[in-house]
Amino acid sequence: LCSCGGDPVPARDHEPREAAAMVEAVTHDEVLALKEARSAVEAPDLGRRLSQDPVEQVHIGLHGPGEVVVTFMTQQRGESSAVQYGEEGSAAMQTAEGQVSTYTSLLCPTNHARMVEPGLGDPKVSDLDLAKVVNTSAILPRSSESYVYIPLAEPGLAWSKLDKGCVKYKNPNAYYQSPYIHTAVLRGLRPGARYTYRPIAGSRTFTFVMPPGAGTIPQTDKPLRVGVWADVGITNVSYAVMQHLKDLTPDVALLVGDLTYSDGWSSVWDTFGTMMEPLMSTVPHLTVVGNHEMAEGRAQGVDWMYRYPVPYRASGSASPLFYSYDVGLMHVLCIPGTYAPTGLDSPQYQFVLEDLQRLNRSDTPWLVVQFHTPWYNSNEVHYQEALTMQTDLEDLFYEYGVDLIFNGHLHSYERSYNVYQNEPDACGPMHIVIGDAGNYEGPALPWRDQPSWSAFRESAFGAGVLTVHNATHADWEWQRVACVEEYGTSVFGLKQYTWNGAGAANGPNCSTSGDNSAQRYVTVDAVTIVRDVIACGSRAKGSGTGLPKTGTAAAPLAEAPLPATPVNGAVTPGRRLGESGRDADSRKASAAAHVSTAFGRVASSLNTASTATAAPTGSITSSFVRPPGVRPLQREEMRKHLVEWRKQGARRLDGMHNGFSHDKRRLAEADADEIEQVHLGFKASGDVIVTFLTQASGTPSRVKWGIEGQKLSNVATGEVSTYTTLICPTNDDLHVPPMGEQPLDMARLASIVNTSSVLPSSSMSYKKIDQVSDAWGALEKGCVAYKNPFGYYQSPYVHTVVLPGLQPRTRYTYQPEGSTREFTFVTPAAGGQSDPAKPFKLIWADVGITNVSLASMKQVKSFDPELVILVGDYSYADGWSPKWDIFGDMSEPLMSSVGTLGVVGNHEAAEGRYNNIDFKERYPVPYRSSGSESPLYYSFDAGLLHIIGIPGTYAPTGQRSPQQEWLIHDLEKVNRSLTPWLVVQFHTPWYSSNQHHMGEALTAQADLEELFYKYGVDLVFNGHLHSYERSHPVYKNKVDPCGTTHIVIGDAGNYEGPALPWSDPQPAWSAFRESSFGSGLLTVYNSTHADWEWRRVA
């Protein structure tokens, strides 16, 4: 016997289901009154409005050769995703079936100053809007940890109640739920033909012209027209620019990041979708992310990825953040730029290199790149913000003869001459910054002295069109739509502008207030671009293989040279947190060279050699020799270094175990294996998903498998992904962990935050901290600044492979290709399958990466379960994302041998501002097979159990919410003759008598408890509370033999330590409680009897 304080208690809680004791009932008026209170208060409408046509926000994108993807939204569940289409005027119509999704995001209105008093247009979020969300006092009792009081007379206080810029995760109003997002692919389209299409659920018909296919030589009277715009928003200027671009009749359009400026108020995406429908439903777009998709609002790109699909799989990419597409004579390369690592070992760099190597300049001679943050910008705003990326990629773009680069970010317009290394160069790309589509932040001012490479610049708003005539000639034209007039200054000291939409405000005699550019009165910038492949041989470079076939991954090309020695003399396998591909000295010297040459050179003309002049006084001379153009490590090269790298303790985490004191790594067979973090999940009954991770690109997503003892004769092929997140160590417990881990490595954090060692002070990305201890305070609302080139974590390559048609309760062996190891597992019993001699075993765990976590995992494995459910809060990475990789390594012995069904907790949804992206990318769940539109909720049948997983409080639970609508649908179709046991798992408990998280889920309880009672839910598993508690069967806070047994088991050992103290006296519904750490086992014997057993570990 042992105890964590107080008297010794038994080390087990063991109770068969039928033995539940009857105790005196209690009354709890808070939950009973909650529904009435909620109905009396107008809930905030976060964009789930109804329109006359059930179909809204229609837009189209390019998907693959001869394919267009149609995306549209509906507010009601159950609407068809199908789209009818055909050539205009033809009676022959086809139907494309689609699929539907919905997503949830934490409300994080981080851009306070501009949202309340924008630089242009109307306020995005008023004090009252936010107060309606933050103030829960009208619907919750004071005893609830979700209770917040905002006086009606002082709604502005709501901003001070935010948690590092976000609504607190405990708030039941804290989560935006998207409409239902439908996508359908129209296939077999004929280039140049006009098509009509109609979502079957709607009443409206739309038209578009299919853009020309790759290599199509334009007719003299029908050149390829490409519209370009960026930094749009939802102001009256945004709308005018959209209408103007539509009038330019482009065949296809590029939108170079920063679409909506929702900035954490996600319903703005719905406003944008409706406002831009006239253009985007008729002209297919290729889009990229900007800072307002990735960082502002802590969105992590989630809204953009769900709503604006891009053809990344068709171009052999592992991420929607980087992809390419061929249209006519143009190859368009689309990348995130500064919003993902760009170093030599990064997936972004690897994809760019492989894509450029494959170029077929015979079919697509024009090479165009779009990314958000400009390299060439002579405005004070965002000045030199992308120096690190420029250092990493400019040589590559020059080597492969990039013709044009489009950027946004700067809310003005600027065009360069052809330029390379900050001086005019006829063989360099032309850079066009066009972030002037009208967003609410207003124009970028003032301009610096105009450098020699800058051809035209103006702080007005407009859009452009690129007209490609043939393989050598194209025209570019930017047209002004609006000048804006300054009218005041906000309380935050920011200038504010207005546009009346008519007259002189758009005429040839207008200019934007404060515009100091030489071209401020000019309404059009037009230039003819000539590709000279004789003078610039790089413009013909490429293997000629072109894009891979649709749905296939691109293998690295043999022509790519490998470095003689690893970069910087040390191996850098993997995308280390905040790490780059070049050492600090090389980066700083290269950046300094960029700065020294930027304004010290003058070109006599665009087509003549530039003449160097003396560098400006006080500058660094331009004698720096750039680092050699080394290439990233390939798969075989990576494999050679893995053993030594791991033994030396370098690891991808670079000393960031934070006291992870288990057996460190298995320095044996596993350490020589390029395959890591192997784990199992489920796609559907009989289909097991194998997930594994690799650090180097090129590893096949293939798994050999077979029944144990037989030859591994079956081969399954899957797909590979990688994802990017902004580094947001938001949890203060990272700084001083209560249990089990060393504090977050402040020196490591300081090396990320402090960019002064690699960037000049003139760069907007420059940040200097004097002491390591200052790093924590230098974060911006809990996150590394989006401008920081090291502020983004890049995951390893995540491979998922489905092993189909497996027999139940059969032992299988499997081996990922490239692995030196074989793994085994036993498939769980099929739904409805029962064998009295083999009771079904199901366990639960809630984890972290402490030594207690490891002990809990070992105990779980010793139970020999058929299935594991993990009720949220996996890694406790909390924005320090490499801890997901530690967790994956640590849990591999368990999770590679038994399938897991998990749900999100607050540490997936809110802490670290992940928006569930790590969970969704790494731990697939069977949501599609259970009729769900979101991986946050799903169900699965195993043995005599129907297991439901839902997010609970981390998504809306009220009527009309997708969570409740799906839950009702799933409960209605349960077949209790096959699966008599009904088990639900979600993270935040309804029944907890601990003072931690007290009453935090009252809203979800009020919304869902009657449903659980109506459909006879037997067991509910929860986490969140870092202790253990089991209830008697209970309903509405009264012991009820027909109620549900609630088991809170968030005690697997995470670094936050135990939850204390307990409320006194113990409620009548509470049967057992203890603040220790452990795990549990549910053994199901038949349709009426089961055993539950919790065992203490520590």
Q: Which residue has the tokens 């801890």?
A: 883
Separation of alpha carbons 134 and 1062, rounded Å: 28
Separation of alpha carbons 992 and 1047, rounded Å: 9
Residues 300, 306, 308, 311, CA torsion sign: positive
Among 397, 526, 376, which Cα is nearest to 466's?
Answer: 526
DSSP letters along 965-979, please?
HHHHHHHHT--TTT-
DSSP letters along 445-502, please?
--B-PPPTTEEEEESSEEEEEEEE-SSSEEEEEEEEEE--EEEEE-TTS-EEEE--SS
Q: How far from 703 is each of 38, 42, 805, 812, CA to CA, in Å?
A: 51, 53, 15, 12
Farthest CA pair distance, the chain? 94
Q: Do the beta carbons of residue 775 and residue 753 sit within 8 Å?
A: yes
3-state secondary structure of 529: strand
Tokens of 71: 């995306």
Among 454, 470, 460, 457, which Cα is nearest to 438's?
Answer: 460
Q: Do the beta carbons of residue 84 and residue 197 sit within 8 Å?
A: yes
Active site residues: 997
Q: Do the beta carbons of residue 1080 and residue 843 sit within 8 Å?
A: yes
Separation of alpha carbons 66 and 86, rounded Å: 13
Residues whose CB falls within 8 Å of the CB of residue 441, separated by 6 or more in sequence, listed in order: 114, 118, 119, 120, 233, 261, 411
Residues whose CB falls within 8 Å of the CB of residue 937, separated by 6 or more in sequence, listed in order: 927, 948, 949, 950, 951, 955, 962, 963, 966, 967
Q: Which residue has the tokens 């319903």?
A: 267
Q: Which residue has the tokens 């999940």?
A: 681
Length of the chain: 1098
Q: Do the beta carbons of residue 532 and residue 352 sit within 8 Å?
A: no
Separation of alpha carbons 210 and 123, rounded Å: 38
Residues whose CB falls within 8 Å of the CB of residue 914, separated by 6 or more in sequence, listed in order: 300, 725, 877, 879, 908
The one-letter amino acid code at 168 reads K
Q: CB neighbours (10 Å) of residue 667?
A: 12
Separation of alpha carbons 371 and 386, rounded Å: 11
